[in-house]
Amino acid sequence: DVLLQPSPALTWRTTGGILDFYIFLGPDPKSVVRQYLDVVGFPFMPPYWGLGFHLCRWGYSSTDITRQVVANMTAARFPLDVQWNDLDYADAKRDFTFNKKSFKDYPEMVQEFHSRGLRYIMIVDAGISSSGPPGTYKPYDEGLKRGVFIRNTTGQPLIGKVWPGPTAFPDFTNPKTHEWWYDMVKDFHEQVPFDGMWLDMNEPSNFVEGSQDGCPNNNLEHPPYVPGVFGGRLQAGTICASSQQYLSSHYNLHSLYGLTEAIASHSALLRIRGKRPFIISRSTFAGHGRYAGHWTGDVGSDWEQLYYSIPEVLLFNLFGVPLVGADVCGFLGNTSEELCVRWTQLGAFYPFMRNHNDHGTRPQEPYSFSPPAQAAMRNALRLRYSLLPFLYTLFHRAHSAGETVARPLFLEFPTDPNTWAVDRQLLWGGGLLVTPVLEAGQTKVSGYFPAGTWYSLTGVGAPAWVLLPAPLDTINVHIRAGHILPLQEPAFSTAQSRGKGMALVVALTLNGFARGDLFWDDGESWETFERGDYTEILFLASNVSTGS
């Protein structure tokens, strides 16, 4: 446990182990983030299409339904870059399979999406089904032969239970597992040419406590001190702490499971596709941002979760995982029209934007709502797409210089005490301030504006809290004086928008100066920056009267 004390101080409780402490001296918050990333690694550069709008649902139960969703988005004139499927696609919910009835033309569907400039991603769970007869399920048969699964204390694969039933868990600390994983991903990609991977249940999650056979009674399962974990026991919702992995016991490696799976998946996709991998993972650890992004899990469809998503997104940017977002409109339970509009407006400023919800709940695709709500959502998405060159440049700065994409106000204004506790607003870079509505029935919203001039319909000068008009069709976005933002005419996908004309928004200071930059490459090739295959433009503007 690590507890924050008011002194200020930290209390660190541990039952042992070798502890390495890194002290980051700053002197300012930005420097601390950079120094931390110097240790754990800078974030990966996502493909340009990954910054577009993503759409998913648990409940798109056939290729016909999935196609219809895409058709509905097109008919309603909403941008869409990436269509996803949850476990519905899989045969008996098993990884690297697809249902030959409801998804019989699954490969053809993905090819159709590609022909329209769309991308496709499907879910991959950590557990590998172990219950089929020998010779019927290659991922388990081959994994058993190669010895890639986590073992119990008797040396046999530990068997837990998740969506497909009894399952074994790959040991991603084992180099053999990486090769096996690559082979499984490659085999499936040769059937279904997906563009990215969605890693779920990779804490690893388990529907039984420890394993189907329980866990031994030993010091690893019952240590002298148990931190405040889910269920109050180390085995609750996961696998036995004393199970054995290639590097050590699971007790020592549990928190690294999602990271090691992300590393293996990143490597596999790069080898298979030869382009920048796109991976979103539920479980993370220090250094995760080098390989993958993160979504914040199965959040409720309520106003409280809408608010909580802001500090979550900001924290993960400080952790070096800038590609992050919550399920737009919420996942668990029924959303409302007003909530979904407001969530779409905020979600347009998540670095990773995906609308995703649970089966059996109210549909929440943007086209599912009234014409006024659709118009508000469409405007929010078009605003995001117009800002993608700016957002992409921010990701380049994160990848190349260890900066944040979305950032809390205190990171940019550390000497202003009023910014220290602001968690209902966020910045993109240092120049774009977003003030969303986070409560029901509101037509105004209060936001803090640090010193300087902030341009929207009215300028804001001295540092102040300002009450802004915020009808349902409006999200307040302000540009900080001194910044130049590159924009592009929005379209219905990034493939289309990248061919449109560009423009600059120039926000001059009172002294008549502004600067900005643009990073531009082909949007998906590996290491374009490292190879010098890119264009970077510095913009400078001044309006200085020379007198007569």
Integer Cα distance of 177 and 179 in angstroms: 5
Output the domain CATH number for residue 351. 3.20.20.80
pLDDT of residue 546: 53
Residue 116's Cβ-side half-sphere holds a number of Cα atoms within 13 Å equal to 21
480 occurs within a structural domain: no
**Cβ(463)–Cβ(496) under 8 Å?**
no
240 neighbors 216 (Cβ within 8 angstroms): yes
Question: Is 195 a known active-site residue?
Answer: no
As beta bridge partners, residue 325 has: 295
Name residue 445's beta-bridge partners: 468
**Which DSSP state fits 95?**
T
Q: Is residue 55 part of a domain?
A: yes
CA–CA separation, 216 vs 242, rounded Å? Answer: 8
Task: Please indicate, yes or no, if residue 38 is contained in any of the structural domains.
Answer: no
Alpha-carbon separation of residue 500 from 221, 491, 492, 494 (angstroms)? 59, 8, 11, 10
In order, the DSSP letters of 161-197 are EETTEEEE-B-TTSHHHHHHHHHHHHHHHHHS--SEE
- Give the residue among 528, 521, 493 at the shortest CA–CA distance from 119: 493
Whole-number Cα distances in Å, 14 to 203, 275, 324: 20, 42, 30
Interior angle at CA 359, CA 92 and CA 230, nearest 5:
85
- Give the per-residue pLDDT at 7: 82
Single-letter amino acid, residue 180: W
Calpha distance 516→538 (Å, rounded)? 6
Let me know if residue 393 belongs to a domain: no
Q: Quick one: pLDDT at residue 548?
A: 44
251 closest CA partner among 228, 229, 234, 227:
234
Among 105, 179, 203, 298, the active-site one is 203
Contact in structure between 149 and 245 (CB atoms under 8 Å) = no
Residue 459: per-residue pLDDT: 52
Taking Cα atoms as reference points, which of 436, 379, 376, 434 lies closest to residue 405?
A: 434
Nearest to 314 by CA among 382, 404, 239, 383: 404
| Domain containing residue 81 | 48-150+162-207+256-388
Q: Tell me, yes or no, whether 344 lies in a domain.
A: yes
Q: Check if the beta carbon of residue 428 is closer than 8 Å to that of residue 434.
A: yes
Q: Tell me if 274 is assigned to some domain.
A: yes
Is residue 275 helix, strand or coil?
strand
According to DSSP, the β-strands at 444-449 and 464-469 are: antiparallel
Residue 189: φ, ψ to 5°: -65, -30
Distance in angstroms (rounded) separating the CA atoms of residues 64 and 68: 6
| CA separation for the pair 263, 286 (Å, rounded) | 12
Phi, psi values for residue 276, rounded to 5°: -60, 125
Distance CA 275, CA 332 (A): 34
Q: How far apart are CA 505 and CA 231, in angstroms?
A: 52
> Distance between CA atoms of 51 and 235, rounded to whole angstroms?
37
Q: What's the pLDDT at 345?
A: 98
Residue 137 tokens, joined: 């399920």
Cβ–Cβ under 8 Å, residues 197 and 265: yes
Q: What pLDDT sits at residue 461? A: 56
Q: What confidence tens digit (pLDDT) does each residue in 177-233 have?
A: 999 999 999 999 999 999 999 999 999 999 999 999 999 999 999 998 898 888 999
Say what the pLDDT of residue 460 is: 54
Q: In which residue ranges of the chain is pLDDT below 70?
A: 457-463, 545-548
**pLDDT in the model for residue 457:** 46
- Among 200, 327, 358, 412, which one carries the catalytic annotation? 200
Q: Is residue 537 domain-resident?
A: no
Query: How many domains does the structure of the chain reveal?
Result: 1
Closest residue by Cα to residue 314 from 322, 302, 303, 326: 322
Which has the closest alpha carbon to 544: 512, 507, 498?
512
| Catalytic residue check, 530 | no
